[in-house]
Amino acid sequence: MTKRLIAVRAVIAMSVALVGTSGFAQSPQLKMTTDIPHSITAQDKVETSIGTLEYFDGVPQPKTVVKVYDYLDRSRAVNVFINSIPMLSIHTLREGQASVAADTCNKICIWDNLMDSKSLLLTGNTSTMYAVGFLDLAKDGPTVIDLPLGMLGILDDMAFRYMTDLGVAGPDKGKGGKFLVLPPGHKGDVPDGYFVVPSKTNGVWVFMRGYLDKSLPLEKAIPAASANIRDNLKVYPLGSKDAPPKMEFIKVSGKSMNTILPNDYTFFEKLHDLIQDEPDDYLGAEAKGMMAAIGIEKGKPFDPDTRMKAILTDAAAIGNAAARAISYFPREPGNFIYGKESAWVMAYANKDTGFEKNGAYNLDARALFHFGYICVSPAMAVTVAGKGSDYGLAMLDSEGKVLDGAKIYKLHLPPNVPVRDFWAVTMYDTQTRSQLQTNQQFPTLGSQTEGMKQNADGSWDIYFAPKPPKGQEGNWLQTIPGKSWWIGLRMYGPLQPWIDKTWRPGEIELVE
């Protein structure tokens, strides 16, 4: 029986039911139902932030249907943008390294002469020697990292999730050793003699730092740290252990290299590319559903039509604005070091590298960290007196205003800066979150800087201005009119007064 015939018979049956004894249809007394709660109905017209929504007895009118679907697609795309910042950040790190030919596991980028502002890398510093690479477990299978003595490093996967520490904070305790990184779902035999690290993703970022020997002058400490890495680091597929490929170290000090995630429509294109390279269970069902809703699926082309491309372009602009608002004007209490009356914040809210709060993901905290910073390790958020490092970040002046590169500011550090090793203040660009590019190659001042003047009481003043204030040339960091900036205060070997906040830096004060 066809659907049309069923419908016709239903009408006939209704007509028969309405026929009285005289054989004529009786007019029913139709009444509007009045006992339905308004909370479960839709009024004929509803004013909302996306405009007027119109219905006929609860059914959306055609213009409302279009308006709502546009909103759903846009809101889902914004959600995907913000929640995918971690994975896009590590994806563009890999792209940036590949752009300078570091495209296989045995090719390592190294900043032999330390990192200057030429490298666009999130909050890189000028005080330690970086060496970074990537593993491709889909291509190479189980891969060995033969780590030198005295290193400090991390392995993060392609969702920017922590895997393990290398070196001092890792299982080798700084004594070096062989790490074996296994591909997702590895079923083969695992040989003895390795620190074994299973991976959930095919790509793995290898981040290493070689600290400079403080007992040596800088001109000797830098080449010594470089030689330790170049002479002793080995990375190779386990299957090639009998004849490993020759190591290639790519010197990137002073070279341009962009590792920053995009803020426009190409964000979604790159996200699609990343999804293709990783296991199907790389993402949870919720994240996969959100991405599928905007056309990003593993094994399928990403080819949005004109309407959807316009929506994604708009969503990227909104997502970018959201990430920058979260970063420069955070509202998560756990990001504030001294409370909301101070501009000093920390990258890891509540010092939690899992970005959780009360058993749930702390979404703003996760977005803030990954939009501006890299390297995920619990060791980076645990402050132990006299060990490791800790950081304070300031994006606003003492009145809560954005820092203006045309003006003169001063930062006061009280006497007895509580560090065992050294402290350093580095300037960053608010656009790129990388070192500010000025006439100063290394935009950093600190206790290791030659020529800095210390005040008579042991305190320090640092000036930020387009030109050095008279008599403060050694205590000056250059700014650029028309640009903003922000700073990171690094405390190497922080002592208890920093940890318990009995010593604290001043706010950035406007001078003129």
Tens-place pLDDT, residues 401-438? 999 999 999 999 999 999 999 999 999 999 999 999 99
Q: Is the pLDDT of residue 25 over 50?
A: no
Q: Is the pLDDT of residue 4 over 90?
A: no
- DSSP class of residue 350 equals G
Q: Is the pLDDT of residue 11 over 60?
A: no
Q: Is the pLDDT of residue 34 over 80?
A: no
**Over the stretch 268-294, which tens digit does the pLDDT of each residue have?**
999 999 999 999 888 899 999 999 999
**Within this chain, do residues 121 and 171 fall inside the same structural domain, yes or no?**
yes
- Run of H or E including 231: helix 218-232
**pLDDT bucket at 253, cuts 50 / 70 / 90:** very high
**Within this chain, do residues 165 and 181 fall inside the same structural domain, yes or no?**
yes
pLDDT of residue 33: 57
pLDDT of residue 210: 87
> What residues contact 260, with CB distance under 8 A and at least 6 apart?
92, 96, 120, 121, 122, 432, 433, 434
CATH number for the domain that contains residue 405: 2.60.120.600
3-class secondary structure for 16-56? HHCECCCCCECCCCCCCCCCCCHHHCCCCEEEECCEEEEEE
**Within this chain, do residues 83 and 205 fall inside the same structural domain, yes or no?**
no
Domain boundary, last residue among 215, 232, 258: 258
**Within this chain, do residues 122 and 249 fall inside the same structural domain, yes or no?**
yes
**Within this chain, do residues 83 and 227 fall inside the same structural domain, yes or no?**
no
Q: Is the pLDDT of residue 19 over 50?
A: no
How many alpha carbons lie under 13 Å from residue 181 in its C-beta half-sphere?
Answer: 32
**Over the stretch 102-160, which tens digit does the pLDDT of each residue have?**
999 999 999 999 999 999 999 999 988 999 999 999 999 999 999 999 999 999 999 99
Is 49 within the bounds of a domain? no
Structurally, the chain folds into a number of domains equal to 3
Percent of the chain with pLDDT over 90: 85
Burial 446-463 (b: 16+ CB within 10 A, else e): bbbeeebeeeeeeebbbb
Is 51 within the bounds of a domain? no
The stretch 469-481 carries a mean pLDDT of 97
Secondary structure of residue 97 in the 3-state scheme: helix
Is 16 within the bounds of a domain? no
Q: What is the mean pLDDT of the chain?
A: 92
The stretch 374-400 carries a mean pLDDT of 92
C-alpha angle 148/441/369, rounded to 5°? 65
**Within this chain, do residues 317 and 236 fall inside the same structural domain, yes or no?**
no
The dihedral region occupied by 189, where left means phi > 0, alpha psi between -120 and 50, and beta the remainder, is: beta
C-alpha angle 304/310/315, rounded to 5°? 100
**Residue listed under structure tokens 């004007």:** 329
**Within this chain, do residues 291 and 242 fall inside the same structural domain, yes or no?**
no
**Over the stretch 479-490, which tens digit does the pLDDT of each residue have?**
999 999 999 999
Tokens of 116: 């200057």
> How many other CB atoms are there within 10 angstroms of residue 481's CB atom?
10
Where is average pLDDT lowest: 18-22, 121-125, 188-192? Answer: 18-22
CATH number for the domain that contains residue 316: 1.10.3360.10
Is 156 within the bounds of a domain? yes
How many alpha carbons lie under 13 Å from residue 338 in its C-beta half-sphere?
Answer: 16
Q: Using DSSP bridges, classify how beta strands 257-258 and 119-120 pair: parallel, antiparallel or unpaired.
A: parallel
How would you list the strands of the sheet with 409-413, edge to edge?
476-478, 460-465, 409-413, 508-510
The stretch 351-367 carries a mean pLDDT of 94
**Within this chain, do residues 124 and 229 fall inside the same structural domain, yes or no?**
yes
pLDDT of residue 29: 57
Count helices and strands in the chain by DSSP H and E runs? 10, 26
Distance CA 365, CA 369 (A): 6
pLDDT of residue 31: 56
| Cα 384 → chain centroid | 25
Is 398 within the bounds of a domain? yes
Domain boundary, last residue among 295, 324, 353: 324
Quick one: which of 392, 348, 350 has its CA closest to 367? 348
Domain boundary, last residue among 206, 234, 258: 258
Is 26 within the bounds of a domain? no
**pLDDT bucket at 15, cuts 50 / 70 / 90:** very low
Q: Is the pLDDT of residue 26 over 70?
A: no
Distances (CA, A) of 468 to 440, 464, 478, 507: 12, 8, 7, 20
Domain that holds residue 80: 73-88+262-324
Beta strands in 200-286 (DSSP E): 203-210, 234-237, 248-251, 257-258
**Within this chain, do residues 249 and 117 fall inside the same structural domain, yes or no?**
yes
**Within this chain, do residues 155 and 228 fall inside the same structural domain, yes or no?**
yes
Is 52 within the bounds of a domain? no
Tokens of 105: 């596991």
**Within this chain, do residues 403 and 500 fall inside the same structural domain, yes or no?**
yes
The stretch 486-499 carries a mean pLDDT of 96
Strand partners, 182: 198
CATH number for the domain that contains residue 214: 2.60.40.1610
Beta strands in 158-288 (DSSP E): 162-167, 177-182, 195-198, 203-210, 234-237, 248-251, 257-258
**Within this chain, do residues 320 and 243 fall inside the same structural domain, yes or no?**
no
**pLDDT bucket at 20, cuts 50 / 70 / 90:** very low
Q: Is the pLDDT of residue 162 over 80?
A: yes
